[in-house]
């Protein structure tokens, strides 16, 4: 009998779709943080022109999912002005000009937590927001954490540091404390990569009590 099982991924989802035609583009704002442009676009179906379509150009970002010797993940908490909330996140930030994403991840871990790691692996990338932004988020997982001196966060970063088990992070996600969407995605993608490398047991639960999450502050000298 013929195999009638459906594939894990429908091939129709992987076929590239026609790109929009950009008929005009003008820069509205450009500074050290971002460039905002307004495009005039014609869609592939030939329908009415879409204008203005705003596009935000930013430098790529990095996230670091770094495990200590006990399998806990280094985290930071900071107040995010736009949201008006304090959120728990992975260490991370902007890839500087002339810097590789891997070097940026190591730098951000050191600056935000005061720690280095002896082993690093690239764990893929994600679009930040492909509907509006041009940049990507590069994820790296690390282990072999060791203190490298005091944290030296950038101006405008007031950080609290700590660590949590993967189960603790899952609980922080459930309660809304770890609620930055890109960081949630990076956590799950990085955890899968760590499991594939044997760093985390394949059956490690994510539903355990998170009472010991953020139990200490390893960022202090």
Q: What is the pLDDT of residues 99-131, one digit of tens each?
A: 999 999 999 999 999 999 999 999 999 999 999
10: its two tokens: 């429908």
What pLDDT, on the 0 to 100 scale, is given for residue 154? Answer: 81
Domain that holds residue 127: 61-196
pLDDT at 217 over 70: no
Query: Which CATH number belongs to the domain containing residue 153 in this structure?
Result: 3.90.79.10
Say whether both 143 and 44 belong to one domain.
Answer: no
Across the range 24-39, mean pLDDT stands at 97
| Among 176, 182, 194, residue whose Cα is nearest residue 73 | 194
Domain assignment present for 42: yes
Instruction: Give the Cα separation of 125 and 136 in Å (integer).
Output: 7
Per-residue pLDDT averaged across 21-34, rounded? Answer: 97
Find out whether 115 and 131 touch, Cβ atoms under 8 Å. Answer: no
Give the pTM: 0.90
Look at the block and give the residue holding tokens 């959120």.
87
Is 22 found in the same domain as 51? yes
């Amino acid at each position: 009998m013929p195999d009638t099982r459906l594939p894990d991924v429908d091939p129709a989802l992987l076929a590239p779709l026609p790109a929009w035609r950009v008929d005009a583009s003008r820069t509205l704002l450009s500074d050290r943080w971002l460039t905002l442009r307004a495009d005039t676009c014609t869609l592939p179906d030939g329908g009415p022109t879409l204008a203005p379509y705003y596009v935000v150009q930013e430098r790529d970002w990095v996230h670091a999912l770094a495990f200590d010797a006990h399998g806990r993940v280094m985290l930071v908490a900071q107040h995010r002005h736009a949201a008006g909330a304090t959120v728990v996140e992975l260490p991370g930030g902007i890839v500087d000009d002339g810097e590789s994403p891997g070097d940026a991840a190591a730098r951000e871990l050191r600056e935000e937590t005061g720690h280095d790691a002896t082993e690093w692996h690239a764990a893929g990338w994600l679009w930040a927001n492909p509907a509006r932004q041009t940049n990507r988020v590069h994820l790296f997982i690390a282990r072999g954490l060791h203190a490298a001196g005091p944290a030296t966060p950038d101006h405008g970063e007031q950080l609290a540091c700590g660590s949590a088990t993967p189960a603790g992070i899952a609980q922080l996600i459930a309660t809304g404390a770890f609620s930055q969407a890109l960081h949630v995605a990076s956590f799950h993608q990085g955890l899968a990569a760590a499991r594939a490398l044997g760093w985390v047991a394949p059956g490690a639960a994510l539903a355990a009590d998170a009472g010991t999450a953020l139990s200490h502050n390893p960022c202090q000298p």
